């Protein structure tokens, strides 16, 4: 591991070229001073690297499920590390993209950077919900809904979603390099029981005399996303004009006093309205053209992953799932294409003549199936050989059409792969389980058969 981390550090231009370093579930995400220094092809050839993606101002190196270990190995080797062991500098030489494209990339980068770190919370909470559903009266009936074990798992599954504003407040503040403590505090304001009780009772309320419509913001994302965005500017303003001797208490106090009316009277209600419109739009789309929508996402999802754009779709999921409690759009599409490219991978293992290529393909499939990571297949098989990507898009579209037609629905928020995704569809009636079996089997069969019609040009 140390050898690879040293090679990666050298390849990206050393620690003096690194402005910031974070990681998601599978990728090291570098922000570099000079993006012309790294040599993509050389990095791709490093043993242990599954691929490279350059997106906006980020240079992403795909590692896989061990990415956290590599991240922790790299951090001590970087000289510009602060007390929290995170790479951060107040001023950087990074060139900012300008124009509409630059602003859009900045928005997407903010959303991705704010929501990706909380995926483990949502995943674990969803799994706890799944356990409660499986052992509870709605499925196997092993325990009743009054037992301690059922209550425990149901509680663990609920808090991860209920307190989303606090979790997102922390991660969003970290992304914008402002106070995480203040981010959590403003998130906690939105889920304070006293406010929720006033909202339920319809009691009138004002902030500094400004009328405020209180709402229940538990399990929401957009209200706190907008709040922290504005807070980053307010806090920076106070830091700029506050004497050093007073900063320790005046900066957070001033930030809070300014943000309370902005959050409760403007930003949180606006975020709630936007979230409602997004949910209603998805519901309308599903009612009018669900099969086609699922098919389109399934067909294009490998390209989105390859270009690093898939977190945009996850943002939609984080906004809509807590409010709707299920998903008949994105997760079915991911399942459809995921098992389709598994079938394509197995077909490639059959078609390859060289033993090394066969072994490589089987290892990719095993990593996907048991590790839940699909990037090695995308960067190691689909992108280099091209025809597997085409076959996956075709098979994914067909399987997505099937999943959408059968109205396959996920009841657990889960963005993983392999054997870990199907449990997300536990729930609903028997038709949903039949649709799940058909989508999984259909993906394997369609992917395998489709790939057999294509040639693979070996190295």
> Which of 39, 67, 95 delimits the end of a domain?
95
Does one domain contain both 85 and 39?
yes
Q: Whole-angstrom Cα distance, residue 282 to residue 201?
A: 30
Is residue 122 a contact partner of residue 318, using CB atoms and an 8 Å limit?
yes
- Is 294 contained in some domain? no
Is residue 105 a contact partner of residue 35, using CB atoms and an 8 Å limit?
no
> Which of 240, 255, 276 delimits the end of a domain?
276
pLDDT, one tens digit per residue, over 267-302 is 999 988 888 787 777 667 767 777 898 998 899 888
Q: Whole-angstrom Cα distance, residue 201 to residue 368?
A: 50
pLDDT of residue 102: 64
Does one domain contain both 119 and 264?
yes
Hey, which residues are catalytic here?
24
Does one domain contain both 447 and 350?
yes
Percent of the chain with pLDDT over 90: 32
Closest C-alpha to 275, from 148, 352, 168, 424: 168
pLDDT, one tens digit per residue, over 35-71 is 888 888 888 888 888 778 887 677 888 887 778 788 8
The count of structural domains within the chain is 3
Give the domain extent around 86. 2-95
Is residue 14 a contact partner of residue 54, using CB atoms and an 8 Å limit?
no
The structure tokens listed for 95 are 């060139």
Q: Whole-angstrom Cα distance, residue 305 to residue 54?
A: 12
- Is 108 contained in some domain? no
Does one domain contain both 64 and 125?
no
Does one domain contain both 126 and 228?
yes
344 pLDDT more than 80 = yes
Does one domain contain both 89 and 204?
no
The pLDDT of 401-413, averaged and rounded, is 91
Does one domain contain both 79 and 119?
no
94 pLDDT more than 50 = no
CB-CB neighbours of 304 under 10 Å: 14
- Is 437 contained in some domain? yes
pLDDT of residue 348: 92
**DSSP assigned state of 207:** E
120 pLDDT more than 50 = yes
Does one domain contain both 199 and 334?
no
Is residue 32 a contact partner of residue 78, using CB atoms and an 8 Å limit?
no
CA torsion angle 386 392 394 398 (round to 10): 180
pLDDT of residue 87: 45
- Of 124-133, 209-218, 235-244, 314-323, the poorest mean pLDDT is in 314-323
Give burial (CB, 10 Å; 0-12/13-18/19+) of 279.
Answer: middle
Is residue 57 a contact partner of residue 31, using CB atoms and an 8 Å limit?
yes
Helix axes 430-452, 387-405, angle to 10 degrees: 160
Does one domain contain both 87 and 188?
no
Closest C-alpha to 46, from 69, 63, 24: 63
């Amino acid at each position: 591991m140390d050898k690879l981390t040293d090679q990666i550090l050298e390849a990206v231009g050393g620690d003096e070229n690194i402005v910031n370093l974070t990681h998601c579930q599978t990728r090291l995400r570098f922000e570099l001073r000079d993006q012309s220094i790294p040599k993509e092809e050389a990095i791709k050839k490093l043993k242990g690297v599954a691929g490279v993606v350059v997106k906006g101002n980020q240079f992403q190196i795909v590692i896989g499920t061990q990415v956290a270990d590599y991240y922790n190995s790299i951090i001590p080797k970087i000289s510009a590390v602060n007390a929290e062991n995170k790479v951060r500098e107040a001023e950087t030489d990074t060139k900012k993209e300008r124009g509409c494209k630059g602003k859009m990339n900045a928005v997407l980068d903010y959303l991705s950077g704010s929501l990706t770190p909380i995926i483990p919370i949502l995943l674990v909470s969803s799994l706890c919900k799944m356990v409660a559903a499986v052992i509870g009266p709605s499925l196997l009936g092993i325990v009743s809904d009054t037992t301690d074990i059922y209550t425990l798992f149901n509680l663990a599954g609920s808090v991860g979603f209920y307190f989303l504003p606090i979790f997102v407040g922390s991660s969003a503040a970290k992304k914008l390099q402002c106070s995480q403590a203040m981010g959590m505090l403003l998130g906690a304001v939105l889920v304070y029981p006293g406010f929720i009780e006033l909202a339920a009772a319809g009691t009138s309320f004002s902030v500094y005399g400004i009328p405020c419509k209180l709402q229940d913001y538990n399990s929401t994302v957009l209200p706190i996303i907008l709040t922290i965005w504005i807070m980053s500017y307010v806090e920076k303003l106070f830091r700029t004009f506050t004497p050093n001797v007073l900063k320790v208490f005046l900066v957070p106090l001033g930030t809070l006093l300014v943000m309370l009316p902005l959050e409760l009277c403007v930003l949180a209600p606006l975020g709630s309205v936007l979230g409602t419109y997004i949910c209603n739009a998805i519901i309308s789309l599903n009612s009018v053209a669900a099969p086609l929508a699922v098919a389109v996402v399934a067909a294009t999802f490998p390209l989105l992953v390859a270009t690093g754009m898939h977190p945009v779709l996850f943002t939609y999921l984080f906004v809509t799932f807590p409010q709707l409690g299920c998903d008949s759009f994105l997760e079915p599409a991911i399942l459809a294409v995921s098992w389709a490219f598994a079938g394509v991978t197995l077909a490639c293992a059959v078609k390859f003549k060289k033993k090394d290529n066969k072994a490589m393909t089987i290892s990719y499939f095993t990593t996907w199936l048991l590790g839940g990571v699909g990037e090695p297949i995308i960067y190691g098989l689909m992108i280099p050989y091209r025809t597997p990507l085409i076959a996956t898009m075709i098979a994914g579209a067909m399987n997505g059409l099937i999943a959408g037609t059968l109205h396959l629905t996920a009841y657990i928020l889960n963005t993983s792969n392999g054997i870990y995704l199907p449990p997300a569809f536990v729930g609903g009636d028997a038709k949903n389980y039949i649709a799940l079996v058909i989508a999984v089997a259909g993906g394997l069969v369609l992917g395998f058969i489709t790939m057999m019609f294509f040639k693979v040009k070996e190295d």
